[in-house]
Structure 1
Amino acid sequence: MSRYVALGSSMAAGPGIRPRVKGSPLRAGRSQRNYAHLVAARLGLDLVDVTYSGATTANILTSPQPGAAPQISALDGTEELVTITIGGNDIGYVPMLMVAGLPRVLRAVPRLGALVDRDAREAALAGIGSALEDVGRQVRGRCPQARVCFVDYLTLLPPAGIPAPPLSDVDAATGRRLAEGLEQATAEAAAATGCEVVRVAEASRTHHAWSADPWTTRFGLPLPGRPAPLHPNAAGMRAVADLVVAQVS
């Protein structure tokens, strides 16, 4: 059976989508119904899923997370397929949205306020392209025969002009700017490193969290047995799996 390694953050792990992968670190939030598991089942691949909630590009390459080595260590050069969903935590994308939905008194806390500071987010966005290229280059170097696919993020926010409560129009615009910048940087990094890109963001424009047929969740408290707020739901994971299978089949 051909080997498939899935790398990435919570957008790939699927926190809160039951059932959780048995034996995986609790903090990873790794679901048995995330897109990697669905792709592996559809294509008959031997999956090694090392996705982990909160992961950054550094956690792919050099920095361990609790109970887990850097994700790139899962690659042994025999892979047929590698998928990568990463970058949002580097630029503070979902954390920015979560803080932006809090009452203003909480946003005044300096540590939280920094997450919604537009200049700080722009500075983070400016560095994501080189970080993603480093990931693509090193993953490609580890498994030169594999199909390496960056899978970008599902669209969370509606287009300009459509409200996204509790976000203000200004904060929603900042969120869209981060999402658009990450989408562009991912595509450019893939092209620069000989990888592919599965254009999930583009395919999900009309399935944002405030739509009639959402592939992601809105704001809320993290609750057991429910997909994490501002993350893929089960329908979203199925849609991403469909897009990956269509591209690599």
Structure 2
Amino acid sequence: MSSTPRQTVLITGANTGIGEASARALAAKHAYHVIIGARNLAAGRAVASSLTAQGLHASAVHLDLADQASIEAAAKTIETDHGGKLDVLVNNAGVLTETDPSAAGLTLRQRFERTFVPNVFGAVCVTEAMLPLLRKAPVPRIVFVSSRMGSLANAQDPGAAFHDDDFRSYDCSKAALNLLALNYARMLRDAGGLVNAVCPGVVSTRINGFMEGAAAVETGAERIVEMATLGAGGPTGTFSDRKGEIAW
């Protein structure tokens, strides 16, 4: 029996979609203990229970990216329950207000505010709260789930997907998230940290109304899982999808 401690990973927004698919893959294929970060704790616990019922290792924690107290409480819970460290953080939770019917009546300012709270502000606050725990891991890893739509190069390509659609708040939030990833890659360099931004591609999820013809969530999770399981000396400060690197 291996004496290597089980690795732990916190995934925000892991009670559904790509986050849930990533959690299931990390638990089943890599034997990680997955912590399901969920705003709806009952939904998070349901996913965790379905994994533990299979003999896998999982738990859930309440995590509302708009509530700093929730973020700080989650960090304390993880510190207490998992030996004071966290091996991997996957910043997955996010919104796309441009396709959200409930956002139809919002002003442009309100739409940007609703987008940036989870996609950027929440991501940086969760990362900062988990940073002391990540620093205690042998190889700290952070995966920022971004989008090709946050690429400045992509935004200048008339042939790019969705180029003529108005996704300004989402695009800008993902561009900000990419720069956030580069900042944390720098900040964790002294600890051997591996911090990368990943585009899962166009995936059929609630965020886009379960777009017909889009990839399955399991496919979208592939690159996330790959970057979450990197070993020492792996790449850091990169932006990529399943096919390879993406121009910033």
1:133-152 correspondence to structure 2 within 5 Å: 134-140=128-134, 144-152=136-144
Shift, 1:51, TM fit: 2.2
Candidates 224, 231, 236, aligned match of 1:240 = 224
Change over 3 Å in CA distance of 1:231–1:195 after alignment to 2: farther
User: How many aligned residue pairs are there?
Assistant: 198
* Partner-residue secondary structure (3-state), 1:199: strand
Shift, 1:137, TM fit: 3.0
Q: Could you state the TM-score of these two structures normalised by the residue count of structure 1? A: 0.56
Which residue pairs with 2:16 in the alignment? 15
Change over 3 Å in CA distance of 1:87–1:184 after alignment to 2: farther
C-alpha contact (below 8 Å) 1:5/1:48 kept by paired residues: yes
C-alpha contact (below 8 Å) 2:89/2:141 kept by paired residues: yes
Shift, 1:188, TM fit: 0.8
Q: Deviations over 1:118-137 (max 9, x none)?
A: x8867998867863562243
Provide the rounded CA distance (Å) in 1 between the counterparts of 2:197 and 2:119: 19
* Partner-residue secondary structure (3-state), 1:234: helix
- State the percentage of identical aligned residues: 13
C-alpha contact (below 8 Å) 1:152/1:200 kept by paired residues: yes
Candidates 62, 84, 91, aligned match of 1:86 = 91
Which residue pairs with 1:96 in the alignment? 97
Which residue pairs with 2:245 in the alignment? none
Provide the rounded CA distance (Å) in 2 between the counterparts of 1:175 and 1:88: 13
Relative to its length, the structure with more strand (as a share) is: 2
* Structure 1 letter corresponding to 2:6: R
Provide the rounded CA distance (Å) in 1 between the counterparts of 2:90 and 2:220: 14
In the alignment, does 2:176 pair up with 1:181? yes
1:45-60 correspondence to structure 2 within 5 Å: 45=32, 47-52=33-38, 55-56=63-64
Which residue pairs with 1:5 in the alignment? 8
C-alpha contact (below 8 Å) 1:14/1:232 kept by paired residues: no
Shift, 1:182, TM fit: 0.6
Which residue pairs with 2:58 in the alignment? none
Larger RCO (CA under 8 A, 6+ residues apart): 1
In the alignment, does 2:187 pair up with 1:192? yes
Task: Give RMSD over aligned pairs.
Answer: 4.5
Shift, 1:84, TM fit: 1.3
Provide the rounded CA distance (Å) in 2 between the counterparts of 1:188 and 1:114: 26
